[in-house]
Chain A
């Protein structure tokens, strides 16, 4: 029983990460009907930028060029470096929308999907090109030593897990505030509801979407920076995570932020508990159960658990 509780606690950490990435995916999907396959890779790249900020100026560079050498006080403390990564992520997201997505407005889905797939491949290759494939240490902003835990019923709830969950909840709160209490949020919700009407009412659709992409990419960068301590910073870390969070978003229903949260938990629990009790599924096969859950959900209930059914006109 203690073991089960322990495993659930372990799953909670991943659940928060998947949920936050899934929320970012859902945001873009709701507004544009588009899944951003490059979400994970942009996040990895941003985390590496954060990693640059964590190293002393002499070594803070790529291929011998000190890119961030002009910044004062390097190396920065972890929270500040993460903030830097998040800021970079936001800029990268906005840039992606402006340069790659907006010009394709009104095109069929496939070219836009192809662009995000191309971006996934290209950004991943760039990360490998710049930083190599070896794993790096990226310290957690929360106490993450072997003794940093709260004993609950004989199991250990790690401080890091609590920290990640607080971050996630604060993040969701801020997002809700932004969406429901600000002008940009109102515009964003108008676009989500009916894009054409919003445009006719004078909502600046492109600019609002750019903000949306920036926020989504910033959330991605934050998740990558938070998970980097647990999985080690390496160029391929987000590909698996992206699939987990795709699964989370799909299970929850692609257009529901609450669904993304629930989906993230379901996926993390499936990922942790199934390998623990089914001997064939080793930990490196942990991807299999969430994938199967996703396939089953899609076949049985294509809109996910919390998604809205779409009616199509022929």
Chain B
């Protein structure tokens, strides 16, 4: 039975299952402090997921997502301390706030195509720490500030397990948002985004609302990134502008592209890279600054596999499946499952695996359908 189950799962699904399992038992394996440190990176999955939505699915390059992470952290801190909301209300409020800001910042995206938006967002990413310093009441100014109303474990959980409790809360929020985003990307909305990415003009001709799709995608992307920041602030209740420099944005962008921005599972691969690279670098002690690995990885992956690790894995799987074609025929949902089953596994955009994630300059008219419902 296990063997049968094992061969039913694709590699991406295996990664997902193993990741979830490891994440669930992590508090049993680690002390609170390392747990908190790793969890702080794990929640960045949401920020990378935001880039998957914006860059991978919609073709909007953002080099300033670190700013949205910061915005989320400061917004949560303000809602909890200044407004006095409980966490159950502050987290959704943060989501809405970041959504709104992302929506406004996404407005130029209507007129501006890919590369200009990258410039604007890069500017936003660079200017954000300086801007944050100008609102000391909310952000603590130059030195940052500690959040007074922290999230404490309820009595039934055990009061001394605070970090573990926060960790599971973060995990739950991440899982929820991941599922919501997955479903959204598989719906008409997600297909509209891919159509916009592949060819704006054709998408508009086919009745896709460009304004709603692009601003909506950027707003969702910003809201997801903001939640990553809010969860970071929940985990370790201290916020400072220094945490959200443009280098965070670079890391996030590199992680998304390295993971595979055109695939939902790419966010998981990306965050695994965000966790493993500093760890391995710490073991080897080669570089003082592991950002280099992300830059070099971004370049390398562009040559080896432009749609990232997720694309690499997917192609390898397809080759393997093609190799054992015929034996798997009768099985529903086996490894030979065609890419194009939009509602299938939910782990890939399936935006035409060769071009996935790339705003293609090719203007072949009939191709617009392949953007919305790709061939297998």
Q: Which residues of A contact B (CB under 8 A)?
A: 35, 37, 100, 103-104, 107-115, 117-126, 128-129, 239-240, 243, 246-247, 250, 280, 282, 284-285, 287-288, 291, 294-295, 298-299, 302, 312-314
Contacts and interface: CB of A to CB of B under 8 A. Distances in A.
Contacts of A314: 199, 201-202, 205, 363, 365
Contact of A126 (B120, B205, B292): B292
Given A118-B298, A280-B134, A125 B292 contact: yes
Nearest to B204: A314
Q: Residue among B118, B246, B302 with the most chain A CB within 10 A?
A: B302
Interface stretch (B3-11, B75-83, B123-131, B171-179): B123-131
A148 B119 CA distance: 37
Which residue among B299, B358, B361, B363 has the maximum number of chain A CB atoms within 10 Å of its CB? B299
B95 interface: no
A110 B292 CA distance: 20
B17 interface: no
Contacts of A288: 127, 131
A250 B123 CA distance: 13
User: DSSP majority for the A interface?
Assistant: helix
Nearest to B59: A110
Contact of A313 (B122, B294, B357, B363): B363
Contact of B359 (A100, A110, A121): A110
A112 B114 CA distance: 13
A298 B112 CA distance: 7
Given A122-B292, A298-B112, A108 B299 contact: no
Contacts of A104: 302-303
B262 to A, nearest CB: 10
Contacts of A100: 299
Contacts, number: 148
B61 interface: yes
Given A239-B246, A299-B108, A125 B289 contact: yes
B78 to A, nearest CB: 19
A112 B298 CA distance: 11
Given A121-B294, A125-B289, A113 B253 contact: no
B291 A121 contact: yes
B361 to A, nearest CB: 6
Given A128-B288, A299-B112, A119 B134 contact: no
Main secondary structure of the interface of B (DSSP, over half): helix
Contact of A114 (B59, B111, B291, B302): B302
B123 A129 contact: no
B134 A114 contact: no
Contact of B111 (A118, A299, A312, A313): A299
Interface of B: 59, 61, 63, 107-108, 111-112, 114-116, 118-120, 122-124, 126-127, 130-131, 133-134, 199, 201-202, 205, 246, 250, 253-254, 257, 287-289, 291-292, 294-299, 302-303, 306, 355, 357-363, 365
A100 B300 CA distance: 10
26 contacts: A35-B118, A108-B361, A109-B114, A110-B61, A111-B302, A114-B298, A115-B302, A117-B254, A118-B298, A119-B299, A122-B292, A122-B299, A124-B295, A125-B292, A125-B295, A128-B289, A129-B289, A239-B126, A247-B119, A282-B130, A287-B126, A288-B127, A294-B119, A299-B107, A314-B199, A314-B205
Contact of B295 (A122, A247, A294): A122
A123 B302 CA distance: 17
Contacts of B359: 108-110
Contacts of B254: 117-118, 121
A36 to B, nearest CB: 11
Contact of A124 (B123, B291, B297, B360): B291
A63 B352 CA distance: 47
A119 B295 contact: yes
A298 B289 CA distance: 36
A115 B127 contact: no
B123 A114 contact: no
A249 B99 CA distance: 30
Contacts of A110: 59, 61, 114, 306, 357-359
A35 B116 CA distance: 9
A295 B295 contact: no
Contacts of B362: 108
A111 B292 contact: no
B280 to A, nearest CB: 16
B358 A108 contact: yes
Contacts of B246: 239
Contacts of A119: 295, 299
Nearest to B114: A109
Nearest to B202: A314
Nearest to A107: B306
Nearest to A123: B295
A263 to B, nearest CB: 13
Contacts of B357: 110
B124 A298 contact: no
Contacts of A126: 292
Contacts of B108: 295, 298-299
A37 B126 CA distance: 14
A122 B292 CA distance: 5
Contacts of B299: 100, 114-115, 118-119, 122
Q: Report the 3 A-B pairs with minimum CB-CB distance, sorted nearest first.
A: A122-B295, A121-B295, A118-B298
Given A285-B131, A299-B111, 13 more contacts: A110-B61, A111-B306, A114-B302, A117-B118, A118-B302, A121-B292, A126-B292, A129-B292, A247-B119, A284-B133, A295-B120, A298-B112, A312-B363
B258 to A, nearest CB: 9
B289 A243 contact: no
Contacts of B119: 35, 243, 246-247, 250, 294
Nearest to A283: B130
A15 B129 CA distance: 24
